[in-house]
Structure 1
Amino acid sequence: MPPYAGPTTPNRGGDVAGTLRLLAYLALALVLVVLDHRGGWLNRARQQASLVVQPLWMVAGWPGQMARTLYDDAGTLAQLTEENERLRNELLVNSARITRLQTLAVDNERLRGLLGAARRGNLDVQLAPILDVDLDPTRQRLVLDAGSNHGVRVGQSVIDAGGLVGQVIESLPMHATVLLLTDPSHAVPVAVTRSGVRLVAYGNGRSDMLSLPGIPLSSDIKVGDRVVTSGLGGRFPAGFPVGTITALRPDDSRAFLLGEVRPAANLDRGRDVLLLRSVPSGPPIGTDEARPVDADGAPQADDPAAGGTGAESTPPEPRP
């Protein structure tokens, strides 16, 4: 333990020096306040200092700004993704609706054509929907969603807005089978509307063509002539459009012509057909006016001197 040295004497020189420094600081502060009040130079100094410090503030604020930007971008991306998905679904739904409406419009137009053909020809017909189509080259059939319970009977002629389609060969209680004109086993007696020449049109397994074999070279037949049912055989009523002759060429024997006919009916399209219930009393469908017919129901030529001979050719024997 150090020895007691007695009472200490205060350092008055140090206190005076501190007081003088305080007074000097106060005087300096007072001078600066007065100068700043009168000249505003401290304000300018602060502005200059803020310009120097501003980049530091910007750098210090970058992390927070980046965080806010990322948060906003994430929210915007999620919102845009959701809206894009919603718009895509709406587009698909609207496209499906438009396609459906277009299909309905086409079906409506076809039905109008069928009903218009029935009205023009004063036909007693029955509308039957098509349930199935078989256009195999060796088998040309239609299955109708109507049968004997709906009044469909075997032998009924089937037509559409263009012309003859075929005939009913089987009638079940709920469904019926139609043999198309283009079936290889089908033949229909026809007559040329311009000259009255009678022929037989055969199916060949193609939905876009019928065959006219055995045409005599002396027959008054040209490309572009229309052929209709002649009424021979009593199976089909006379006067229904069958098609238009598109080609004529000699056969292998060079003794006869072989013709090609484009069917008037739309055999490969459509969803409905008409079943003929009774023989029409007015002009046949597909013709502008009724033409004179002979005792067999075949149309006669208007003027033999104008190119129509009025002669008829003997149809070839039906195929076995």
Structure 2
Amino acid sequence: MPPYAGPPVASRQGDAASPLRLLAYLALAITLIVLDDQAGWLSRLRAQANVLVQPVWALAGLPGRLGTQVKDNAASHGQLVTENRELRNQLLIANARLTRLQTAALDNAQLRELLNVAERSGLDVQLAPILDIDLDPVRQRLVLAAGTRDGVHVGQAVIDAGGLMGQVIATTGNSATVLLLTDPDHAVPVTVARNGVRLIVYGRGDTLELRDIPLSAGVEVGDEIVTSGLGGRFPAGFPVGSITALRPDDTHAFLVGELKPAAQLDRGRDVLLLRPGEAIRIPPNLRRDAGEAGGPAAAPLSSSPATTAPATAPANAPQANRPGPDR
């Protein structure tokens, strides 16, 4: 193996030039510092360089800014969705409360009307809430949340602020069934308030009907029909309805009239039950109307209970105020 001859000549020359190169760089740096401090031309150069590299910096920071913006937009969208859902829920709750308040206000108004009727007429009445209603063409009934334990009994007349509704036909301890005027099995002796003509009103499922009206009776569209008091079931003078149409019957010997019920049979939450008493006072306005007409409605019932029909009814209305068989 030959002996080591030492490093190459070129390497030794490079090592000797390294300190000189370092001194040259140092001198150049000092010169630039002095020139920059005296003239400031390097500051201008840096400013121009910053202007040149600014788009590069913006492009380099674009992904980060886009990510941050996407996160912010997602958070804002989620917050908006949450707030929108909360506002919708609040709106639904507010609408439900408003509906309940409107319903309560309507119920209070109807209740005040019922109480005003009882106060003005001086009738001995009992307030009963409606528990159920059955209104179809062949069955017109109400179920009241009051029964024999509350003093309700079969035969009691049922009214509202508008007029006569029907009568109690069945009772239990806590409920009572009311046969409405519009039930096909129901008939009521009535009189025309204007001229006192006695007729009978029959139920037709959703309306009332006057049958066998004499052509000479002078009955007209718009006439008010009130109870006649015959049979003792209903007090005289209670509004039943008003005539909306007249037509000849099949024989053309009599007229048939259609009535709009005075009572709100399909509305309200409460009704009034007439209690039996020694004297039933007819409302003053009804008594005045009947008195001007000279009809039988002007005569008050003095001793006949409003809830008990006689064993043998008068010949001119024997079965008119008795409900038909319960279906």
- Corresponding residue number in structure 1 for 2:276: 278
- Corresponding residue number in structure 2 for 1:267: 265
Q: How does 1:1-320 map to 2 (within 5 A)?
A: 1-3=1-3, 24-206=24-206, 209-278=207-276, 281-284=280-283, 287=286, 289=288, 291-292=290-291, 297-299=296-298
| Alpha-carbon shift at residue 57 of structure 1 (Å) | 1.3
Instruction: Tell me, in whole angstroms, the C-alpha distance in 2 between the residues paired with 1:12 and 1:202.
Output: 137
Instruction: Tell me, in whole angstroms, the C-alpha distance in 1 between the residues paired with 2:16 and 2:87.
Output: 86
| Alpha-carbon shift at residue 151 of structure 1 (Å) | 0.4
My pick for the range that moved more, 233-242 or 25-34, is 25-34
SS at match of 1:298: helix
| Alpha-carbon shift at residue 69 of structure 1 (Å) | 2.7
Contact 1:163–1:286 (Cα < 8 Å) also in 2: no
- Corresponding residue number in structure 1 for 2:302: none
My pick for the range that moved more, 19-28 or 260-269, is 19-28
SS at match of 1:179: strand
| Alpha-carbon shift at residue 75 of structure 1 (Å) | 3.2
Contact 1:165–1:181 (Cα < 8 Å) also in 2: yes
| Alpha-carbon shift at residue 290 of structure 1 (Å) | 5.9
Question: What letter corresponds to residue 246 of structure 1 in structure 2?
Answer: T
Question: What letter corresponds to residue 180 of structure 1 in structure 2?
Answer: L
| Alpha-carbon shift at residue 70 of structure 1 (Å) | 3.2
Task: Report % sequence identity.
Answer: 60
In the superposition, the TM-score normalised over structure 2's length comes to: 0.81
Instruction: Label 1:157 to 1:29 Cα distance change in 2 as closer, same or farther (>3 A).
Output: same
My pick for the range that moved more, 156-165 or 177-186, is 177-186
Instruction: Label 1:292 to 1:4 Cα distance change in 2 as closer, same or farther (>3 A).
Output: closer
My pick for the range that moved more, 274-283 or 117-126, is 274-283
CA RMSD after TM alignment:
3.3
Count of matched residue positions in the alignment of Structure 1 and Structure 2: 305
Contact 1:245–1:261 (Cα < 8 Å) also in 2: yes
Instruction: Tell me, in whole angstroms, the C-alpha distance in 1 between the residues paired with 2:224 and 2:47.
Output: 102
Instruction: Label 1:14 to 1:147 Cα distance change in 2 as closer, same or farther (>3 A).
Output: closer
Q: Which runs of 5+ in 2 are unaligned?
A: 300-314
In the superposition, the TM-score normalised over structure 1's length comes to: 0.83
Instruction: Tell me, in whole angstroms, the C-alpha distance in 2 between the residues paired with 1:185 and 1:219.
Output: 26
Instruction: Label 1:256 to 1:28 Cα distance change in 2 as closer, same or farther (>3 A).
Output: same
Question: What letter corresponds to residue 245 of structure 1 in structure 2?
Answer: I
Instruction: Tell me, in whole angstroms, the C-alpha distance in 2 between the residues paired with 1:5 and 1:222.
Output: 148
Instruction: Label 1:174 to 1:12 Cα distance change in 2 as closer, same or farther (>3 A).
Output: closer
Q: Deviations over 1:58-86 (max 9, x none)?
A: 22222322333333333333333333333
